[in-house]
Amino acid sequence: TLDPDSMFKSGFLAEVYKERPVKPVMTRFPPEPNGFLHIGHAKAIAVNFGFAKYHGGHCYLRFDDTNPEAEEEIYFTAIESMVRWLGFDPYKITYSSDNFDRLYETAEKLITLGKAYVCHCGDDDLKLQRGGEKGASPRFRCAHADQSVEENIKKFRGMRDGEYKPREAFLRMKQDITDGNPQMWDLAAYRVLDKPHHRTGSKWVIYPTYDFTHCLCDAFEGITHSLCTTEFFLSRTSYEWLNDTVEVEHKPMQREYGRLSISGAVLSKRKLKELVDKKYVRGWDDPRLYTLIAVRRRGIPPAAILEFVSELGVTTTNSIIQSARFEQTIRRYLERTVPRLMLVLDPVPVVIEDAGEFEGTELTVPFSPKNPAMGDHKIKFTKTVYIDRSDFREVDSKEFYRLAPGKSVGLLGAYVIKATSFTKNPETGKVTEIRAVLDNEGKKPKTFIQWVSADSTSRKCEVRIHHQLFLSENPQAAEGGYLSDINPNSEEVYPDAIVESGFDEAKRRAPWPEAAGETDGTHSGPESVRFQAMRVGYFAMDSDSTEDKIVLNRIVSLKEDKEK
C-alpha cells in the first residue's frame, strides 16, 4: 500500500501542501479516455488520490473528454476499473464535457473582456507569428487580433452554429506575445471539429482545447491542488492567466511532479496497438506489457504497485526505473503475502519401488514456513511422483546435487529417494520414467526438490513464463525500430505442467488477506490466485483459465533474472 511517510509527510508533496494548507483538499485524476492506463498512470493515481486521502479530502476521477476524434467508450470503463483495482474510490466521476455549456459561456466572456479573438490563420501563418522556423524573428499578431468584440462574438457564434469548416476559424486567447513562454503566445481555445461526441452527440461542432478546458474545469470543481506531470510546467502560466482573467471563484494551484517509466516498457498507444495488431503479444493485457490491465493479468498485486510508487517517492524529476528494480519490489511483496505450493513444469514420473507402507500417507505441509497464520495442508504421497526433468541427470557428476542413478535427493516435505534406473524414448531421446527406492536412513541430502503426486488431486496446467518483450532496455532507440528489438523467446510455454493438490485451497482462500494484512483493491479476478511455486517462481492464474483448464503466468522469478 501507499506509505504516507515517503509520499506525503515530507518531500515534494509536503511542500505543495505547505504552499496551500487548506481543508478540504480537492484533487482530480484527469485521464483522457483515449487509451488504456499504464504503469506511469499508477503513479498519477497514487499521487492524486493518495494526497487527497492523506489530507482528509477528496479526489475526482475526471474524464478529460474534449477530443471526440480519439476517445472511445471502452476506455471509460477500463480506466475506472483500474482506479478501483488500485484501491481508490473516486469522490465523483465527472467529465470535462459536463461543462461544455459553461465553458462556452466562459469563452464568450473572454471575448467580451477583449481577451480572445476568432482567427482564420493556418499553421504556416501561426509559425511565422510565433517567431518563424527557429523562433528567431520577432513575434507579431495577425490582423484578426484587432477585430472588435462584436465581430468576434458574431464569428464565434458562427463557429458554434456550423458556419465554418474545420480549420477555417478557431478561437484564440489574447495573452501576451512578448512573454518568453510559448504558452502565452495566443493559444487556441476552441476549434471546429465536425465529429459527434460520445456524450453530447451532435450538439457541438466546436470543442475546447486542453489549455482552455483544464484550468477552468479544475476551478469549476473546486480543485485545490492540481497535480500534473512536469511537461505541463510551462502551461502553469497559461493555466493561471486564464483563471485570473475570467476571475474564477475558486483558484486551483497547479504543481508538477516527475513522470515514471520503466526501462524496456513501450507505453505509446500507437506502438502498443502495432504490437497487438501484428500479434507479437496476446492482447492489450498481455503480461509482457506495462499497461495496468497487463500488469494485473500478470498477477502483480495492486498493493505491490503502490509499494513500488512509495519507494520511489515523488520529486520533480522524470525517472526511468530498471524493470529489475520493479520486479524486486514485487518479489519482496509476494514473499510475505502468498502461500507456497509445489509445481512441476516439465514432469517426469519417478516410480518408487519400495514405497510400500508410505503409499497413501498424508503429509502435512505448511503454506508458509514463516507465517504460521497461513496454516497448512495435506498432500498424499503416492508410489509414483512427478519431478521436474531438470532435476534429473542420466549421468551423475560430483557437483550435481539432485537426482541421478545411484544418487539421492530429498522430496520437499516428504522422503529421500535414490534413483536406480531410467528408461528413455529411443526416438526422442527423452527420459520417460525413473525408477527409485526410498533412502531415508542415509546421509541427509544436500537438496530437496519439488514434486507432485501422481493421483487425481494433482492438477494439470499450462504454465507461461514471460521474459522481457524487448532485447534492449531502450527499444525505442533500437536500430531498425523497436519491432526489430523484439525478443523472439519472450514467452515460454509449459503445456504439461502439474501443480499439487494444495492449489485448490490456495485458490479458495485467495487473496490470502491473513498474509497480506490488508484487503484493499478488487480481488475477484483469476489473477488474485497467487502462490510461490517452490524453487520455480511466483505464479498467478491467467484469465485464459476455464473450469477444466488451469493456465498460470509467472509473475516474477524467485531471484533476479540474469537472462532475458
Does residue 259 interact with ligand ATP by CB under 6 A? yes
Select from 34-42, 98-106, 412-420, 506-514 the region that touches ligand ATP (CB under 6 A): 34-42
Q: Which does 260 bind (CB under 5 to 8 A by kind): ligand ATP, Mg ion, none?
A: ligand ATP
139 is catalytic: no
- Tracing cell 499497461 back to the chain, one arrives at 291
3-state DSSP percent of the chain in helix, strand and coil, to 5: 30, 25, 45
Q: Tell me whether residue 229 or residue 420 sits nearer to ligand ATP (CB atom).
A: 229
Pairing outcome for strands 537-541 and 530-533: antiparallel
Select from 36-44, 68-76, 308-316, 537-545 the region that touches ligand ATP (CB under 6 A): 36-44
Does residue 263 interact with ligand ATP by CB under 6 A? no
State the catalytic residue, choosing from 139, 259, 509, 535.
Answer: 259
Q: Pick from 52, 267, 343, 461: which binds ligand ATP (CB under 6 A)?
A: 267
Select from 28-36, 165-173, 248-256, 520-528 the region that touches Mg ion (CB under 5 A): 28-36
Does residue 141 interact with ligand ATP by CB under 6 A? no
The one-letter amino acid at 206: I
C-alpha cell at 259: 513522470
Q: How far is CA 472 from the centre of its chain?
A: 20
State the catalytic residue, choosing from 141, 157, 199, 269.
Answer: 269
Q: Which does 259 bind (CB under 5 to 8 A by kind): Mg ion, ligand ATP, none?
A: ligand ATP
Pairing outcome for strands 260-262 and 459-466: unpaired
C-alpha cell at 234: 510551462
Report H helices in 313-430: 323-337
Q: Pick from 8, 25, 30, 438: which binds ligand ATP (CB under 6 A)?
A: 30
Q: By C-alpha distance, which of 341, 340, 387, 380 is closest to 364?
A: 380
- Tracing cell 476499473 back to the chain, one arrives at 81
Q: Do 33 and 65 touch, CB atoms closer than 8 A? A: yes
Q: Which does 229 bind (CB under 5 to 8 A by kind): ligand ATP, Mg ion, none?
A: ligand ATP
> In angstroms, what is the minimal distance from the CB of 88 to ligand ATP?
13
Distance, CA of 537 to CA of 465 (rounded, Å): 10
Does residue 32 interact with ligand ATP by CB under 6 A? yes
Q: Pick from 17, 43, 255, 439: which binds ligand ATP (CB under 6 A)?
A: 43
Q: Do 386 and 350 touch, CB atoms closer than 8 A? A: yes
| Diameter of the chain measured on Cα atoms | 102
Does residue 35 interact with ligand ATP by CB under 6 A? yes
Beta strands in 425-562 (DSSP E): 431-438, 448-449, 451-453, 459-466, 491-499, 530-533, 537-541, 550-556
Q: Considering only residues 456-495, where is the footprint of ligand ATP by CB under 6 A?
A: none
> In angstroms, what is the minimal distance from the CB of 269 to ligand ATP?
7
Give the CA radius of gyration of the chain. 30
32 is catalytic: yes
Q: Pick from 67, 97, 261, 501: which binds ligand ATP (CB under 6 A)?
A: 261
Does residue 83 interact with ligand ATP by CB under 6 A? no
269 is catalytic: yes
Residues with catalytic roles:
32, 259, 269
Given the rule CB under 6 A, which residues bind ligand ATP? 30-32, 35, 40-41, 43-44, 228-229, 259-261, 267
